[in-house]
Amino acid sequence: MRFSKLRLTGFKSFVDPTDLIIADGLTGVVGPNGCGKSNLLEALRWVMGETRAKAMRGGGMEDVIFAGTATRPARNFAEVSLQIDNSERLAPSGFNDADQLDIVRRITRDIGSAYKANTKDVRAKDVQMLFADASTGAHSPALVRQGQISELINAKPKSRRRVLEEAAGISGLYQRRHEAELKLRSTEQNLLRVDDVIEQLA
Ligand code: ATP
């Protein structure tokens, strides 16, 4: 899956709708300190389903919403949309079978986040899985934060293994295993209830 465009609206310093065209080859973002380069990378991670406010350099997730300046009022929502070239049909069948896939995440104050795939409501989990299977995703080692290299050097072996697993594209399987374990546990509970009922009837 190739990313072709990122659109930010009310996200951090990008108060007005801003498009970042991701052309073939290498895309570089240059600018003075504090102009919003890291915010762009965070927007990419956020639309792919990031749940940790700390990874967005905020105290809570609503901190990604434009907080206002001396001349402009704060916004009530932030939205990031990622346009993906799906002409090779690499997106799972649950997503629209179209050449272009638009994933949109919007956060509204006091309401929270909602996701859409080509205008259809989808769950956060579906979006996270889509990118985890594609070996990208909010935790992808392809997205390198400032200070992340030294963090990795000092990390415990378990955390380093997680990076390798993400790069190998198997982190989606861990998520599925976790869900399967939850289902198994609830089925075991149901079976216990059935045993109770049978015992009462006997
Ligand atoms: P550097 O080169 O120093 O790393 P940068 O280009 O990566 O800088 P960012 O860290 O992406 O810049 O952007 C920081 C700017 O974003 C700051 O001016 C900060 O005030 C602004 N900013 C962050 N969050 C919000 C928000 N919720 N609302 C408005 N502005 C915000």
Distance, in Å, from the CA atom of 202 to the CA atom of 143, rounded to the nearest integer, reads 61
Q: Which value does ipTM take for this structure?
A: 0.94
Residue 154 lies in a domain: no
Residue 71 lies in a domain: yes
Predicted local distance difference test score (pLDDT) of residue 112: 94
Residue 163 lies in a domain: no
The mean of the pLDDT values for the chain is: 89
Q: Is 35 annotated as a binding residue?
A: yes
Distance, in Å, from the CA atom of 22 to the CA atom of 7, rounded to the nearest integer, reads 11
- Residue 196 Ramachandran class (φ > 0 left, ψ -120 to 50 alpha, else beta): alpha
Domains in the chain, number? 1
- Residue 89 Ramachandran class (φ > 0 left, ψ -120 to 50 alpha, else beta): left
Residue 49 has pLDDT above 70, yes or no: yes
Test site for ligand 1: of 8, 16, 38, most ligand atoms within 8 A of the Cβ = 38
Residue 186 lies in a domain: no
Lowest-confidence pick of 3-7, 108-112, 152-156, 183-187:
152-156
Residue 177 has pLDDT above 70, yes or no: yes
Span 76-101, pLDDT tens digits: 999 999 999 988 887 777 777 788 99
Q: Is 33 annotated as a binding residue?
A: yes
Distance, in Å, from the CA atom of 182 to the CA atom of 14, rounded to the nearest integer, reads 39
Tell me the residue range of the domain where 44 lies.
1-135
157 lines ligand 1 (CB under 6 A): no
Residue 143 lies in a domain: no
Q: Atom 14 in ligand 1: which residue has the minimum CA distance? A: 34
Residue 8 lies in a domain: yes
**CATH number, domain at 40?**
3.40.50.300
The atom number, within ligand 1, closest to the CA of 42 reads 11
Q: Is 32 annotated as a binding residue?
A: yes
Test site for ligand 1: of 16, 18, 29, 35, most ligand atoms within 8 A of the Cβ = 35
Residue 101 lies in a domain: yes
Predicted local distance difference test score (pLDDT) of residue 175: 79
Predicted local distance difference test score (pLDDT) of residue 84: 93
Beta bridge partners of 11: 14, 65
pTM: 0.77
The atom number, within ligand 1, closest to the CA of 58 reads 24
Residue 15 lies in a domain: yes
In percent, the amount of the chain with pLDDT more than 70 equals: 96
Span 105-164, pLDDT tens digits: 999 999 999 999 999 999 999 998 888 777 666 666 677 777 778 888 898 998 888 878
Predicted local distance difference test score (pLDDT) of residue 136: 64
Closest CA relative to residue 89, chosen from 121, 134, 129: 134
Q: Is 34 annotated as a binding residue?
A: yes
Lowest-confidence pick of 46-50, 56-60, 142-146:
142-146
